Amino acid sequence: MHIATKITLGIGSLVTIVSIFGLVISGSMLDSMDPNEESWAGELMMKEQAPLDYEDNFEWTATYNVFVEEGYDVNVEVLNGGDNAYFESCDIWGDCDYYDYNGYQEGFQYIGEIIVEQSGTYEINFIVNGDGEEPTVMIREDSMTGAFGILGGFFGCCLGIIIFSIGLIFALVLKDKKTLPPNKVMIVGREESTTSSLDIQKDDNNDIPQEIEDDSNPDWWK
């Protein structure tokens, strides 16, 4: 099997398995939540009397549901949020009765949520519309980790299947290179080469006239 095929199949399998594992965990987190419990509306973050300025760290991966004691009117504003964090009244969407059943907070009414676009420390201002009144206000943090986990697991599974499919295509198309046997090489020793050179030199010397070779003959030039 080609190395590219092995890598692609391995990555595709790993991504798919991890994504399925994430889906199972995220789904179990959502299933464990009981709509009849107060925590259905989020974990309690703050519960104090207004008017007040409340400062804390807010994450973009959560929504912050705001409740006020029944029978009171309170204005909520994020003082330093700008476009990064702001309060949105339930009157805008007409869902002020959203927590009247599931996640019902006894003695409190839902008035809206704090939406966070960028995580950071923000100051929330609660102003009571009424002289001398000090109603209790409450913020509940509703984390979207489980929802993000399911969404990420779903896309991860899709990506893993795509990568695995590419690996199957590689398995059909790519072939391993055949390994050729090594060529035999004859190594000529130094002695043989030297001997051959000497023999050739001797043969060449034999072709030289005797007269030229014999320097002892003074009349060789005649």
Residues 79 and 100 in one domain: yes
For residue 22, pLDDT over 90 is answered with: no
Residues 72 and 123 in one domain: yes
Residues 40 and 20 in one domain: no
Angle at 160 between CA 154 and CA 165, to 5 degrees: 130
Per the structure, the complete domain to which residue 96 belongs is given by 36-143
Kind of pairing, strands 120-128 and 52-58?
antiparallel
Residues 20 and 60 in one domain: no
| Whole-angstrom distance, CA of residue 49 vs CA of residue 51 | 6
Domain count, the chain: 2
Count CA atoms closer than 13 A to 163's CA, side-chain side. 19
Residues 89 and 156 in one domain: no
Asked whether residue 49 is domain-assigned, the answer is: yes
Residues 41 and 138 in one domain: yes
Give CA separation, 202 vs 183, 188, 196, in Å: 35, 21, 10
Among 142, 146, 122, 117, CA closest to 63: 142
- Per-residue model confidence (pLDDT) at position 169: 83
29-38, 60-69, 164-173, 197-206 — most confident range: 60-69
Chain-centroid distance, C-alpha 131: 53
Residues 45 and 19 in one domain: no
Number of separate helices (H) and strands (E) present in the chain:
4, 8
- Per-residue model confidence (pLDDT) at position 9: 77
Question: Quick check: bond before 181 cis, omega within 30?
Answer: no
| Whole-angstrom distance, CA of residue 200 vs CA of residue 196 | 6
Among 118, 106, 119, CA closest to 40: 106
- Three-state DSSP state, 112: strand
For residue 8, pLDDT over 50 is answered with: yes
Lowest-pLDDT choice from 42-46, 67-71, 129-133: 129-133
- Per-residue model confidence (pLDDT) at position 164: 77
Residues 162 and 128 in one domain: no
- Per-residue model confidence (pLDDT) at position 49: 92
Asked whether residue 85 is domain-assigned, the answer is: yes
Chain-centroid distance, C-alpha 102: 34
Find the CATH number of the domain harbouring 62. Answer: 2.60.120
Residues 132 and 51 in one domain: yes
DSSP-assigned beta bridge partners for residue 46: 139
Residues 83 and 154 in one domain: no
